[in-house]
Amino acid sequence: MIKIKKSPRKKILAISIFVASILLSSCDSSIKSESNRSNISSEKKEINFIPASKKEMNLYRQIGISYFCLARQAKVKFPESISIASNNFALIISKKHGGLIEEIGDKKLTNEQMYQGSYLQLIEGAIQLCPDQVPEEDKKKFLKAVEKLNQ
């Protein structure tokens, strides 16, 4: 076996990194405990969500469509691409706006309603932005769904 000589510089560096990590972790826990004290009173307050405006909805839609098209170009399968993009769209509306959309009024949407709505919006946008990435069968399903909604 070959014995490797350890340089004193490496030992000093390793020890200083170890000590610094201990100090930083203790600072972090003291910061967390102080911030928890101030959050206790704010947690009791009810969060008032602001409904998503038309402009915000358009932005979320564009983000979802871009994500979908990029995922499809990266060879991610259609069901996974549209599902992740739709879930992300719905999650933003749920977490940031509490499921409220300005155009709908005071009615809070369920996660399922947000998912279905985002799914249709993203398919429509994808057909316009990256039509080659949407399978023909899914384009037909989308058109049938739109026909049903218009009846």
Q: How far is CA 92 from CA 36, 59, 83, 95, 129, in A?
A: 26, 11, 14, 5, 22
For residue 129, what pLDDT is reported? 96
> pTM score > 0.75 for this model?
no
**CB contact set of 112 (below 8 Å; sequence gap of 6+):** none
User: Which whole number is the average pLDDT over 86-114?
Assistant: 93
For residue 78, what pLDDT is reported? 96
- Considering the domain architecture, whether residues 100 and 134 belong to the same structural domain is answered as yes
Q: Please report whether residue 49 resides in a domain.
A: no
**DSSP labels for 15-80?**
HHHHHHHHHHHHHHHHHHHHHHHHHHHHHTSPP-PPPBPHHHHHHHHHHHHHHHHHHHHTT--HHH
Q: What is the pLDDT of residues 21-40, one digit of tens each?
A: 444 444 444 444 444 444 44
User: Which whole number is the average pLDDT over 69-98?
Assistant: 95
Distance CA 72, CA 112 (A): 24
Dihedral pair phi/psi, residue 97, rounded to 5° = -120, 5
- Considering the domain architecture, whether residues 87 and 17 belong to the same structural domain is answered as no
Q: Please report whether residue 31 resides in a domain.
A: yes
Which of these, 49, 65, 59, lies nearest to 109 by C-alpha position?
49
How many structural domains are present in the chain? Answer: 2
Does the pLDDT of residue 145 top 70, yes or no? yes
- Considering the domain architecture, whether residues 82 and 146 belong to the same structural domain is answered as yes
- Considering the domain architecture, whether residues 63 and 86 belong to the same structural domain is answered as yes
Q: What is the pLDDT of residues 124-137, one digit of tens each?
A: 999 999 999 999 99
Q: Please report whether residue 97 resides in a domain.
A: yes
Does the pLDDT of residue 3 top 60, yes or no? no
For residue 48, what pLDDT is reported? 87
End-to-end Cα, the chain, rounded Å: 82
**Regarding predicted confidence, which is higher, 7 or 128?**
128
pLDDT-based confidence at residue 150 (cuts at 50, 70, 90): confident
- Considering the domain architecture, whether residues 62 and 87 belong to the same structural domain is answered as yes
